[in-house]
Chain A
Amino acid sequence: MTAMTATVNAAGLRRDAATERRFFLSLALPSLVIVGIGAILPLFWILQQSLATARGDITLVNYTALLTNGLTWRSLLVTLELSGGTLLCCLVLGIPLAFLLASTSPRTASRLMVLVLLPLWTSILVRTYGWLVILRRDGLINDLLVGSGLVSEPVPLVYNFTGTLIGMVHYMLPIFVLPTYAAMRDIDGNVIRAAASMGASLWHCFRTVILPLAFGGIASGSVIVFVYTLGFFITPAILGGGRISPIAIRIDRTLSTLQDWGGAAAFGVFLLLIVAVLGVTALGAARLIRSKPAAD
């Protein structure tokens, strides 16, 4: 009898469960289609281009040319310098900013948040040209510096590495601050109070309690900043003054000046691989550090 009762209505219930699963799967379908058409297909197209000669034969010549060209490695170095520099600046500027946001009242924080996010809502071109206006020879900062007599000659702030870095940091800072802020906001205020009550100064408290607890947010912010900036184009193109040639600029150059589509495609695949390798490494490292038994 028990066996009988166990199967009562079982088929119908199983069907219901399957229908439910199918329904939720179908919700994801549009985005899967978009990703497939918008991202995966072009990727295959680029891959095919990179392996084809102008006449359409399969070849590795694009890759050998790419990897034997000193300019490729130079651009990779510049790219890593820019991404690393941006990340460093984001850490130095973003962590205190996120801390400030997390430690003010929710009301003030949401207002400040709007200010932080404002740059994200303006076009990158507008922002980048804005920096040009501020940083150039007769720009705001140089006017102030020269006007106040601090320097006699305008300081070269733009059309070089410095200018490019400033533009990139400005772009990435909100993107870094968001996960960092979220992680810090989730820290129990009493934990910080407890540390203070035991005699920890603000700095010590920050170092021994807040930073370790916000590590997850900081790590994901860092990975986003570093990986995202590996493909930066507009900022170095406008603020680099032709001197700064990271990978994206080299790809554009290969494509539009040299008209070498195969080479550009191979370069694109190269960048993609670098992003993948660095991204996976960074995430792996972050996981490793987090899973490590807590330091004493």
Chain B
Amino acid sequence: MASPRIALERVRKVYGRHVALDDVSVDVRPGEFLTLLGPSGSGKTTLLMAIAGFVRPEAGLIRIGEADVTRLPVNKRDIGIVFQNYALFPHMSVLGNVEYPLLLRRLPRAEARERARAALARTQLEGYEARDIAALSGGQRQRVALARAVVFEPRVLLMDEPLSALDKNLREQMQFEIRKLQQDLAITTIYVTHDQREALTMSDRIAVMNGGRIEQLDAPQPVYQRPRTRFVANFMGESNIMPAALVEPLGSAPPLDGTLVIRAENFALERDAAGGDGIAIKGRVAAYAFRGETWHLRLKVEGERELLLSIPSGKSLDQAGITIGQQLTAYAAARHIHRLDGGPEP
């Protein structure tokens, strides 16, 4: 049975005066990996919990497949969930945890054991069956939680910041493992995180949330390169948002208007990088820092505005070549210049 779509229609949740979900509508495609990305308080976890059934919305429809589950209790929704702190049963062994949903479904004990072992094998946990939860590392617990969430073949999978407690290396490894598992199972998945890189790495599509709304719903690349709103631009990393009047069109470039977004890494210090229709901005170095693969520059430009530049190290720049107050011109190619939809001048 193929994993179904999840469709939300004008889901609303209010806590007192705080609107946690402001008429959110979203359609998650069958088998899709959708990430809800946003800062804390943006409503992403509330939305996930509403889908899971732990949060009762004030209004709206939640569908899994064709069925309306809005008023269905949690334990009837057939959803696998991985929680932020793993939420494993501390009084059961690894195997006990993974068998739990199977025994709950009255599977014969032998079959339950067989399937639980298979799920543990899938998450590289063979040989850990008899261990106590307390004896596991964070990564191993994460794998148990994952095995437990999928072992009963739920219709969809929800994950609430499952990797936030892991260190950076392990996190990156787990991102790939989770993604692979999800693709192998072809299970519709909604994943909550506040980590942009994680969202970009894992998702088919990203829904950037802010103030209880989805600001932008797109594949990773468009979200990264063509943020639709100022919030998304800011949230997706080191971007420069500036009025078009500040930049100087080069060559055949047509005059620009409105508000422009240029990512820090899309600037270069060579004229060539801008191509025939790029732009240039002049400024003085206000601060600089070495970040390994890049140099990080703050350029003071017209009107006390600061420009963020991320220049590959060793290529066009070395430390001796930078001094505070030094005059520089930054260039950007036309394809890296993105125009924001409307919005007032910053």
A276 within 8 Å of B (CB atoms): no
Instruction: Using known A-B contacts A188-B85, A296-B99, determine if residue A197 contacts B93 with beta carbons closer than 8 Å.
Output: no
**Once the chains bind, are A199 and B101 in contact (CB under 8 Å)?**
yes
Contacts A198-B101, A199-B152, A204-B104 given; indicate if A294 touches B87 (C-beta within 8 A).
no
Give the interface segment out of A99-107, A208-216, A259-267. A208-216
Q: Is the CB of A194 within 8 A of B81?
A: yes
Q: CB of A190 within 8 A of chain B?
A: yes
Interface residue A58 (Cβ < 8 Å from any Cβ of B): no
Closest to A205 in B: B75
Select the residue from A191, A199, A213, A295 with max chain B CB neighbours within 10 A.
A199
Count, chain B residues at interface, CB 8 A: 31
Contact status B92-A294, CB under 8 Å: yes
A-B contact count (CB 8 A): 74
Compute how far the CA of A75 lies from the CA of B108 in the bound complex, rounded to whole angstroms: 50
In contact, A194 and B83 (Cβ under 8 angstroms): yes
A293 within 8 A of B: yes
In contact, A294 and B152 (Cβ under 8 angstroms): no
Task: Please give, as numbers and ranges, the residues of chain A lying within 8 Å of B79 by CB-CB distance.
Answer: 197
Tell me how many residues of A have a C-beta within 8 Å of chain B. Answer: 21
A193: CB under 8 A from chain B? yes
CB pair B80 A197 closer than 8 Å:
yes
Q: Does A274 contact B (CB under 8 A)?
A: no
Residue B288 at the A interface, CB < 8 A? no
Chain B residue with minimal CB distance to A197?
B81
CA distance A212 to B91 in the complex (A): 7
- For residues 256 through 285 of chain A, which have their beta carbon under 8 Å from a beta carbon of chain B? none
Q: Are B83 and A193 in contact (CB under 8 A)?
A: yes
One digit per residue, 1 when the CB lies within 8 angstroms of any chain A CB and 0 when it does not, for chain B 74-86 equals 1111111101110
B100 contacts A294, CB within 8 Å? Answer: no
B264 is an interface residue with CB less than 8 A from chain A: no
Q: Which residues A182-230 have CB closer than 8 A to chain B?
A: 188, 190-191, 193-201, 204, 208-209, 212-213
Nearest opposing residue in chain A for B96, CB measure = A296
Report Cα–Cα, A197/B51, bound state, in Å: 11
Contact indicator B92/A296 (Cβ below 8 Å): yes
Picked from A201, A208, A213, the residue with its CB within 8 Å of the CB of B100 is A208
Cα(A107)–Cα(B228), bound, Å: 42
Determine which residue in B78, B87, B99, B148 has the highest number of CB atoms from chain A within 10 A of its CB, and name it: B87
Task: Say which residue of B78, B105, B132 sits within 8 Å of A294 (CB atoms).
Answer: B132
Q: Is the CB of B75 within 8 A of A197?
A: yes
**By the criterion CB–CB under 8 Å, are B74 and A201 in contact?**
no
B54 contacts A by Cβ under 8 Å: yes
**A245 shortest CB reach to chain B, Å:** 42
Minimal beta-carbon separation of B276 from chain A (angstroms): 56
Q: Are A193's CB and B74's CB within 8 A? A: yes
Q: Which of A99-153 contact B (CB under 8 A)?
A: none
Check B101–A191 contact: CB distance below 8 A: no
Question: Per-residue CB proximity of B133-153 to A under 8 Å, as 1/0?
Answer: 000000000000000100010
What sequence of 0s and 1s flags, for each residue 38-55 of chain B, a beta carbon within 8 Å of any chain A beta carbon? 000000000000001110
Contact B93 A296 (CB under 8 A): yes
Residue of B nearest to A213 (CB): B91
Q: Contact at A190–B87, with CB atoms within 8 Å?
A: yes
Known: A190-B84, A194-B83, A204-B104. A294 touches B96 (CB 8 A): yes
Question: In the complex, which residues of chain A have a beta carbon less than 8 angstroms from the beta carbon of B95?
Answer: 296
For residue A293, which residue of chain B has the nearest CB? Answer: B93
B88 close to chain A: CB less than 8 A: yes
Are B93 and A294 neighbours in the complex by a CB distance under 8 Å?
A: yes
Contacts of B148 in A (CB 8 A): 194, 198
Closest to A215 in B: B91
14 contacting pairs across A/B (C-beta < 8 A): A190-B84, A190-B85, A190-B87, A191-B88, A193-B52, A196-B75, A197-B74, A198-B75, A198-B104, A199-B78, A199-B101, A199-B105, A293-B93, A296-B96
Going nearest first, the 6 A-B pairs with the smallest beta carbon separation are A198-B101, A190-B87, A194-B87, A197-B81, A296-B96, A190-B83
Residues in chain A within 8 A of chain B (CB atoms): 188, 190-191, 193-201, 204, 208-209, 212-213, 293-296
**Known pairs A191-B88, A195-B89, A198-B101 / 20 extra A-B pairs, C-beta < 8 Å:** A193-B54, A194-B87, A194-B88, A196-B54, A197-B77, A197-B79, A198-B75, A198-B80, A198-B104, A198-B148, A199-B75, A199-B78, A199-B104, A199-B105, A199-B152, A200-B75, A213-B89, A294-B92, A294-B93, A296-B92
